[in-house]
Amino acid sequence: MSRARPARRLGVPAALSAQRLLADRGGLAFSVLFYVVVVSALSGLWRAAAGRAPVAGYSAVALTWYIATSEAAICAIQIRLIEEIGDDIAAGTVAVELLRPLSVVAVRIAMQTGRALARLACLIGCGAVLALLVAGSPPSGGAVLLAVPSLVLAVAANVSLQHAVAAMAFWIRDARSAWFIYQKFIFILGGMLLPLEVLPSALHTAALRLPFMAMAYAPARLASGHFEPGLLLVQAVWLVVMLAAATAAFAAGQRRLQVVGG
């Protein structure tokens, strides 16, 4: 009971953030439009590449569903989240949040996950319609169903890791460049732009062992017709690791913040 209460309390900021996002119709329309443009361009490239023969075992249809899913998993999250968290830490805004009876990082992760899941619902809905129109039905109905919880795990793991990375601002007071580099890891090693099977063998093996694969590749692999439930387990393990990393990084940083603040 005592453990369940903080978890329930975290549901409140998560739900409020989601409501706030859905209320901003203009901003949401902007996100959806941009997502549609990105998916149209990138999936168009992959369809052109796989027009004559499958690429690394992916057909043109599978690649379209792959890109619609991987882009939804990434576009759902605020693009400069690391930079914004870093700015809040550097400006001392985070010190005010220490007054709350809940962990700063837990509330922040809950809020950002709530926002991201609300946006994700809109994006993946549009992405599915787009993929149906330009490529056809998903290669496997069962695998697509597995992609839904996988997307939720992907978003939660990504938000958690971004908090862990942004905590560097407790020490160096600046995380502005970090989001740029972080995104590039997601683009290639996370499988956002391309299925990991397309990478050269050694890079493919390395990418499968890194946490970034849980953030775009796993749900996209499932949506592209590969019925591999084990991917959900891998994502769940990475989520626990990322949450622990973010909590530890913030705890260490907050101790330092108290020292700096006197």
Residues 6+ apart with CB under 8 A from 26: none
As measured in angstroms, the least distance from the Cβ of 127 to other proteins is 16
Residues 6+ apart with CB under 8 A from 237: none
Contact (CB, 8 A) for 247 and 239: no
As measured in angstroms, the least distance from the Cβ of 41 to other proteins is 5
As measured in angstroms, the least distance from the Cβ of 92 to other proteins is 21
As measured in angstroms, the least distance from the Cβ of 174 to other proteins is 9
Site residues for other proteins per CB under 8 A: 26-27, 30, 33-34, 37-38, 40-41, 44-45, 48-50, 55-56, 177, 180-181, 184, 187-188, 193-194, 198-200
- What are the backbone dihedrals phi and psi of residue 90, each rounded to the nearest 5 degrees, phi first? -65, -35
Q: Which is nearer to other proteins, 41 or 91 (CB)?
A: 41
Residues 6+ apart with CB under 8 A from 157: 211, 214, 215, 235, 238, 239, 242
Q: Which is nearer to other proteins, 181 or 252 (CB)?
A: 181
Q: Which is nearer to other proteins, 94 or 207 (CB)?
A: 207
Q: Which is nearer to other proteins, 161 or 243 (CB)?
A: 161
Geometric angle at alpha carbon 133, from 130 and 139, rounded to 5°: 90
As measured in angstroms, the least distance from the Cβ of 140 to other proteins is 23
Contact (CB, 8 A) for 119 and 21: yes
Contact (CB, 8 A) for 90 and 169: yes
Q: Which is nearer to other proteins, 32 or 245 (CB)?
A: 32
